[in-house]
Structure formats: C-alpha cells, structure tokens
Structure 1
Amino acid sequence: MKHQLVITWITIITLSSCVQKSKSKTEVQNTKPVSYTTKVVVPELNIPSGMAFLPDASLLITEKTGELLLFKNKKTINIEAIPKVHWAGQGGLLDVAIHPNYKKNGWLYLIYISKTEKEKGSHTELMRAKIKNDSLVEKQVLYKTSTNKKIVQHFGSRITFDNDGNLYFSIGDPANKNSNAQDITRDGGKIYRINDDGTIPTDNPFVIVPNAKTAIYSYGHRNSQGLTLHPKTGALWSNEHGVNGGDEINIIESGKNYGWPIITYALTYKNTKISQITEKEGMEQPLYYWNPSIAPSGMTFVTSDKYPNWKNNILTGSLKRQHLERLVLKDNKVINREILFNDIGRVRNVIEGPDGYLYIAVEGLGILKIIEQTEKGL
C-alpha cells in the first residue's frame, strides 16, 4: 500500500539552482540513513488540512470539505455547530490551532472561507471558539477579510502562535494579475498578526499608516500554506506557492515586503516571465526556492529525539509532487534536500505530536504516523 513506502534518497540539488545568493556546493550528510515507514492512525479522510493536538493527546482535524473532527480513544467524533464553510476550489475549512494556554482557557482557532447566498464572492474568516459536549460554543469571529473574492484559489490560510502568545495567519493573493499583495490597504497576499482576542498589537508595523489593514505583519506573498516557528530562535518561517516554479521559504519579519509579484523566480504556466526582475531594493530574497515547483503545504521543524538524523530539519508537504520533503539547514541555508514517501499522495500538513512522533495529513488516506521500519507493529 502507498502508506507503507519507505523513504527514498534522491540526488542532491546544488544550491546555485535553488537558492539565491549561494554559490557553495550542497553538503551531503555522513549520518547513516534510517528507514522509516508510515502507519495510518486516522483512516478514511477526504482532504485533511489542519491538525492540532489537545493536552490530552486527542487530535483535532479539519476536513477541507467543512468538518471539524476530534480523534480520541481511537474513535473519530464530528464536532457540531461549526461555522458555515464555503467549500469551492481551494477554499474550505483550512486550519485549526489551539491557544498556548488551552488547558486554562479552552480556546481553539479556525480559519475558513465563508460566503452568503447574496454575495458573489467569498471571504476568509478567522474564528475562535471552545468545545463543550462535542459542539462549538462561544464562537467569535476575530477577523474577516474585506476582499470579496470571486476567484476560488490562493486562500493560503495557516495559523500559528509565537512564544509571546501573538497569533499569526496567512491569506493568499487572489490572482496573479491585479494583485493585492503589494497593497497594504487591501487584504490578500499577507501574513497577519493579532492578539489572541482579535485586537491589534500596538507594535504592528502599519498601525499608524492611513487606511492600512493594521493586522498586516508582512506583505508581498503569493499563497502561504506553511507557517511555523524556529524551535531555537522563535522566528516565524513561512513557505508559499509560486506559479510554475518559484515556490519559496522565507523568514518573516515585521513590515517586510517579500516581493510578489514584482520580483519572483516563477514563470507562468505558459513558461513566460511573470516579472523581468528577481531582485529589487526594499524587497526580501527567499531563504530558499524550488524550481520546478513542488506546491509546498504545511511545514514544521523536527525537534524530537525519535528522528536523530532529522533533528532541526524542516519537513514540508508537497501537493504537486505528492511527497514529504526534508530540508537540511546550516546557518539558515538549505544544504541538502530529500524526498520522503514518494508518490504517497497529496501531503497537506505535517506536525510533531506530544509523543515526539511526526504526523502527516494525506488526501484520500488520512493521518499517518512516521515510524521506523522496526516499529511496524506499533
């Protein structure tokens, strides 16, 4: 079966073809590779997108089609009274996160696409709520985009918290033409930062800029589907989709412009240039970019001792290439990449659980746990 494939080592790609401003050769690790496989722990899911472990080790899962599931004691429970979700194209119920102090306050956060019958387009909404008797209660919409999108793609929509309790979420740019990404008075193509109750931090970069969306933290993004914190520095890292190539990883800083669509390494699907330039003063270069595109999805840093050869590496899902990808870092540069579980399916997310194991969400399969070959009987 697909979910029992072991990892495959691939030819190393030199940084000069993938990473801007790096001419050094890619280093190959000397550690002996360990064979890993996967074990389905939550079966028969359609398009699992978001995952969040609760303090009791139960797992919240969003189905893009509009269901919030709780996997507990080997049973899957449908959480009732979730917000009405508009499932169309790339839109739907996209991510879930829990408050850092969930044990005390019980808040969980959902990001999803909404649309009323009277509206021609849709909005991105961020909500917080609590679970009581397997139902959502105390529901509060904390952010709703003002952009009424008729296009059903590039929603982005990941959520994470930093070490100070600030909440970050991504919203993609609705189109390649007539882009919103460079306009801080409009939603889309941005990463946002708010307080846990939806109020705006006073040190957000555009709070005193007239007409700006004050929740914006960074801009010039295309479609970010991965947000995670560096385990040592606490810095916010993001991945985002390019078009035909030009997928990126960026370290996100307050007020910075990440260039889309003014600078990009992507081409159109007809192999013509989107932009004539790849660098411009005042715009950030990606830490890493892919050519050809892999369509990166959820990502995480590996901190667990259960994967000694992978520690401090980045894992990111690939929708287009249908694998999990491991990126080895040195001094904030990618020096090696490896394809894991090739052709397993469209990997939408990857997280590290409280038990130290890694879990991946794969379309049409469910939630899979990464284990060593010797642990197959777990």
Structure 2
Amino acid sequence: MWHWARTEPDELRLTLLPTALPLAAALFLSAVLPAAAQEAREFPTQTGTVIVETLAQGLQHPWAVDVLPEGALIVTERPGRLRILRDGKLSPAVEGVPDVAVHGQGGLLDVALDPQFSTNRTLYLTFAARGDGGYGTALVRATLSDDERRLTDVKEIFRMNRFTRAGQHFGSRIAIDRDGSLFFGIGDRGDGERAQNQRDHAGAILHINADGSIPSSNPYRGGTDGLPEIWSKGHRNPQGLTFDTADGKLLTVEHGARGGDEVNNPQPGKNYGWPVITYGKDYSGAEIGEGTAKEGFEQPLYYWDPSIAPGALAVYRGNMFPEWNGNLLVAALKYQLLARLERDDTGAITSEERLFDGEFGRIRDVIVAPDGALLMVTDEQNGAVLRVSKAPTQ
C-alpha cells in the first residue's frame, strides 16, 4: 500500500499529475466515445440488476459533474479544465476558468450550479489557488455564457486564510442550501492540529452567502469565538457534502487516515473530533489522538475501518430506484466502488452494499440525475463519465 505524507494511499497518483501532455497523448485524451457506441454492462445488486454505460472517456482526472437544465453535463478536470458533455461529445475547455494551482491533490475541484441557473447562468467552482505561503482552497462565482464557451463575471467570494506548501486535503465539495447560501468543506491541509483551531479555515465546514457575505445562522458570525465563515470544525478532509432534500439535513463524508472515514451531520458550532478522536490509525500503525470518544466531540453517523477513501456523497431521492429512497451513496477511491448505505426511519444507517468493486477505477463523484439515474466520474488519467440506470424487467 502506497502512502505519502499522511495522505490517502489512493491519492498518491494524484500528486504525479503532469501539467502538460505530449501532443499525441493530448489528442488521445480528448477522444470521446458517444454513449450509443458503448457496450452497456449489467451488474447484480441486492435490489435488482443495474446497467452502467460510459457516456464519455478520455477526461484527465475528472473531479465533479453536474447536470445543465437541458440535460447536458458540465464536468471539471483537475488540471484546470471545465468541459460540457452533450450528445456524447465533449466541448473544448471553457475559457475564463480562474488560475488553478495543480499541486498535489489540488487543482480544479467542484462545480455547482446556482438554483436559478436557468435564468442567471451562475455557477460556483472550488479550486486550489496560489497565494502567500503556498497553496489553499478558494471559491469563485461566475456566469456561463449562453454559447457555453466562456465564463464571465468571475468573482472570488472566498479564500482560506492560511496557505502552505502542503499538497493534500483541499476539500472541497459545494452544497447549496434552500436559501441559496453555500456550504463547502476544507481539509486540514495535512496538519491535523489546524482542524482544532477556530481561527483557521482548515479542517472545517464553511458557510457563506452567494455573494461571500456571512449568513446570520453562522455560530461565530460576530468573529469573537471563531472565524465567522466557520460552521463546524474537527473535520480531516471532507470531500462529500450534500443536503437531503426530504428534510434539509446537511450530510458529509470525509477521509480518515488508515481507517476512520466518517459520515457526519455537521451542526453549527459542533466539533467532530479530528485529530483528538478518530476510529482510524496513522499509516504507520500508530494510535492517533485520545481514542474514539471524548466529551465535547461529536460521534459520526457511520465510519469505515479500514478506509475506503470516500470521494463524494449523494442522497438518493429519485423515481428510477424507489427501493433506494433515502439511501446514501458514497463514491470511493481506494476500493474503486460505490457504497450504498440503507437508513431506517430515524435516519440511522443500518446496512451497506458495495457496488462495482474494482470495475471502473477510482470513483470520485456521484450525483442523482433528474431522471433518477446516477452519474459518476472516475478520477483517472483516462477518466470517464458513467451513467447507472435500472435494467429493464423481463
């Protein structure tokens, strides 16, 4: 098992990403196979057979996918490209993307569409930025042009307050609340103690308004006991973040060390323990912190030991798989799988099913499409966009 500087073993290859490719390789990586040309593969699950289709391949470390109003997909590639996938064809890179620092696990990360995107064309991006001291996570708001060729009105609305040379734990999914405000996570940047510092954006779930201002619901809005953007602390590296549309509950999934990946429900002003408490051990096998529980720290809703290296989180609320209603879907990098977590009526996680184990590579993102199918991206040098749908009944 490979590891580097207390970062996820599965992430080592991400630190080796070249910033430029030879022409022949670049031409190969730009090739896309239309969905109709792909052979659909069937997989049994505990609730029936599903079909997985490859909608596109040849993406370079895709990190996130979202669905545009008319059904096309928008995809980020970690080296700094934003692409549109329509009718099996990838667009050239959208112009106007901010200057992205491709450093370690950092690069262009998440994309999220504003709830009013169909009328205002607004979207949000998280990325690794350069600054005094090194690198850190930033978030911008921008407008996608009507012809989808460029971003305009690009404005940085958040930048973390302490940059370092570390190449790991940038976060950083975006979840948009019903009021249009933004939640997003930043990891501890490879230094666990930062997750317990209320004056540090690292190791936290952050909450800002769409213009970058501070919501009135934030626990430290006045800035006296902590930075006003902080919602919760004690998170090692949250890379999955979403709302359950049924009850409005915010849910996260985050990387542990050798173990201790967690699902959490971050509450304002609460502390989720890292690195004081954890269910994992260091990569060396050494104990971390003070055990698995301590007064003043919250317990996870669920954890994995050993680590599966979770990359994203979705709550299934769709019509295609009614038997999955309310399930949590977790993309995993290390074991290259999708974990389906069943919940009871109280929201407690009761069981886990692992799908596609090792079949498609490192699954970085998973979302529920408007038609109820799942969309996933694989974080590989030759990455793909995949669609998961229900097999027809005989």
- TM, length-normalised to structure 2: 0.85
Amino acid at match of 1:184: Q
**Equivalent residue number for residue 11 of structure 2:** none
CA–CA separation in structure 2 for the residues paired with 1:88 and 1:5: 35
CA RMSD of aligned residues (A): 1.8
TM superposition shift of 1:104: 2.5
Give the AA of the match of 2:172: S
1:63 paired with 2:77, answer yes
C-alpha deviation, 1:197, in angstroms: 0.9
Aligned counterpart, 1:90: 105
Instruction: Name the CA distance, whole Å, in 2 between partners of 1:292 and 1:74.
Output: 37
Q: Which residue identity is paired with 2:342?
A: V
1:301, 1:192 → 2: CA distance? 20
Q: How does 1:165-204 map to 2 (within 5 A)?
A: 165-177=180-192, 179-204=193-218
Q: Which amino acid aligns with 1:106?
A: R
d(CA) in 1 for partners of 2:355, 2:153: 41
Tell me the matched-pair count: 349
> Identity rate of aligned residues, in percent?
38
CA deviation after TM superposition for structure 1 residue 176, in Å: 4.2
Give yes or no for the alignment of 1:130 onto 2:140. no
**What SS is found at the alignment partner of 1:139?**
strand
Structure 2 residue 125 is matched with structure 1 residue 107:
no
Q: Check whether the contact 1:5–1:341 (CA below 8 A) recurs between aligned residues.
A: no
Partners of 2:324 and 2:39 lie apart in 1 by 20
AA aligned opposite 1:371: S
> Which string of whole-angstrom CA distances, capped at 9 and with x for unpartnered residues, describes residues 41-80 of structure 1?
1222121111111212121110011100111233211211
Measure the CA separation in 1 of the matches of 2:320 and 2:47: 13
1:329-368 paired onto structure 2 within 5 Å? 329-330=343-344, 331-343=346-358, 344-363=360-379, 364-368=382-386
Q: 1:335 to 1:5 in 2, by over 3 A?
A: farther
Cα 1:300–1:184 change in 2 (3 A) is same
CA distance in 1 between partners of 2:171 and 2:327 (Å): 23
Counterparts in 2 of 1:94 and 1:273: CA distance versus 1, 3 Å: same
What residue is the counterpart of 1:18 in the other structure? Answer: none
- Residue equivalent to 1:223: 237
Calculate the TM-score normalised by the size of structure 1: 0.88
CA contact (8 A) 2:44 2:50 kept: no
Per-residue deviation, residues 181-206 of structure 1 (Å, max 9, x unmatched): 11111120001111111111123100
2:179 matched to 1:161?
no
More off after superposition, 57-66 vs 136-145: 57-66
- Who is 2:6 aligned against? none
| 1:262 corresponding residue in structure 2 | 276
Residue 23 of structure 1 corresponds to none
The correspondence for 2:326, drawn from 302, 312, 325, is: 312
Counterpart secondary structure, 2:172: strand
Give distance in 1, aligned partners of 2:294 and 2:59: 44
* Preserved CA contact (<8 Å) 1:299 1:316: yes
Higher relative contact order (CA 8 A, sep 6+): 1
- 3-state SS of 1:113 partner: strand
Note if contact 2:100-2:107 (Cα within 8 Å) is conserved in structure 1: yes
Once the 2 structures are TM-superposed, how far is the Cα of residue 255 of structure 1 from its aligned partner? 1.1
Task: Spell out, residue by residue over 1:10-66, the C-alpha distance to the aligned partner (whole angstroms, 9 max, x if none).
Answer: xxxxxxxxxxxxxxxxxxxxxx63111310112221211111112121211100111
Structure 1 residue aligned with 2:21: none
| 309, 317, 339: which one aligns with 1:295 | 309
